[in-house]
Amino acid sequence: MSELVYFVAGLLVMILLMLLYQRFAAFTAQSARDYAEQTPRFDLRQHLNGPIRCEGVIYGPLGRVTSRFTGDFDARWDGNRGVMKEHFRYHGGNTQDREWRLELGNDGTIRADADDLVGQGTGQQSGPTVQLRYKIRLPEDAGGHVLSVSDWMYVTPGGTIVNRSQFRKWGIKVAELVATMHKREDA
């Protein structure tokens, strides 16, 4: 009986440690206020405006690259409202289009919408970062799953944007995306 008690107690301690790690030390534990005083300042209307080139990789749940992609974006702003059209080309030959509709509050809050989102995304612009959280529905050929996304963009001193996103299902990380974005030189 005591072996079972030790096993259950050990299991509960491990679960508690995992939950504490997720809450206080993991990627998803970041907060916009962690970056508030840092520079350069990320302004969506400036840094995500006009023609943009994107290149990135997607990691599967085991940390191996499962896909590579390039993208051409075109973002336009009218005051605090913007539309960003994205066209992705994946290494396997597939393509994907998305249109983000963004609204930036005077306090740096962000509301985001796209056709494949479930509900509305919310976020915050702070210091050199932009953070968005949303739920996305994968295409049917990818299973049609709804995933929770934690999306962070960081602007570098040279103006390149580094994007890191984690995709979770039932709280378990199932994919991660890392990409760079920069203004297109040829536009």
pLDDT single digits (tens) 97-147: 999 999 999 999 999 999 999 999 999 998 889 999 999 998 888 788 999
Q: Which residues fall within 8 angstroms of residue 150, CB to CB, at 6 or more apart?
A: 27, 28, 131, 133, 165, 166, 168
Q: Could you count the other beta carbons within 10 Å of the beta carbon of residue 94?
A: 13
Query: What would the pLDDT profile of 147-159 be if each residue is shown by its tens digit?
Result: 999 999 999 988 9
Using the 8-state DSSP alphabet, how is residue 49 labeled?
Answer: -
Q: Rounded distance, CA 153 to CA 35, Å?
A: 12
What is the pLDDT, as a whole number, of residue 172?
87
First to last CA, the chain: 72
What is the pLDDT, as a whole number, of residue 169?
94
Query: Which secondary-structure segment (H or E) carries 11?
Result: helix 2-24
Q: Rounded distance, CA 31 to CA 38, Å?
A: 13
Q: Which residues fall within 8 angstroms of residue 103, CB to CB, at 6 or more apart?
A: 80, 81, 82, 110, 111, 112
